[in-house]
Amino acid sequence: MNKSNRRKVNSRRALSFVYHALFLLIVFVVQALILPYIKTLPSIPLILPLAAVGAAMFEGGARGAAVGLFAGVLCDVSMNRPVAQFTVLFTVICLIIGVLSDTVFARGFAPYFILCVITLTVCSAAQMFTLLFFDGAEPRWLLAEATWQLLVSLPFTVPIYFGARGLVRRSENNE
């Protein structure tokens, strides 16, 4: 690969990363400022992990981990959690997803959906840990709430997947 082509690829990757960061900010605004006030839902959807999975899937290993770090900080801020909880969790999850999408997984909707279900389940377990072991919450109530949160979050996989995929195509067209 000559120097000119290498610059084009690097600029395309940087532009794609910037687009995903802006996309995460938009999802953060929806997550923190709109979804908590929709009272008709049985639980508040958790959509920031969906955007992080999509970005990691299309960005790859190292950039996916950076996107996960950014998404984790945003998720901790939106949920008033200790900063380390989702920051570390999303960084590790997005690193694994990014590496697997570069080597094993196809970048289609079916693998994305499965990874979103797994990620939301892990996020629910992380949310329940403190409540279960330190606050003595009822396990049945926590599992019911986690199930509702998973069910109301999954419909958001469709627009977030197509948004994340569109960002990659947009950056490829802007080179």
Query: Could you state, in order of their start, the residue ranges of all structural domains in the chain?
Result: 3-173
**Mean pLDDT comparison of 45-49, 61-65, 81-85, 124-128, highest-scoring range:** 45-49
- pLDDT, residue 1, reads 59
**Mean pLDDT comparison of 2-11, 56-65, 95-104, highest-scoring range:** 95-104
Tell me the pLDDT of the chain averaged across its residues: 86
Instruction: Give 174's pLDDT tier (boundaries 50, 70, 90).
Output: low
- pLDDT, residue 54, reads 92
Across 11-20, 153-162, 164-173, least confident range: 164-173
As a CATH number, domain 3-173 is 1.10.1760
pTM for the predicted model, two decimal places: 0.87
Contacts of 148 (CB under 8 A, 6+ apart): 42, 43
| Side chain identity at residue 155, one-letter code | P
Instruction: Report which of residues 174 and 126 the model is more confident about.
Output: 126
- pLDDT 10s digits, 107-152: 899 999 999 999 999 998 888 887 777 777 788 888 988 999 999 9
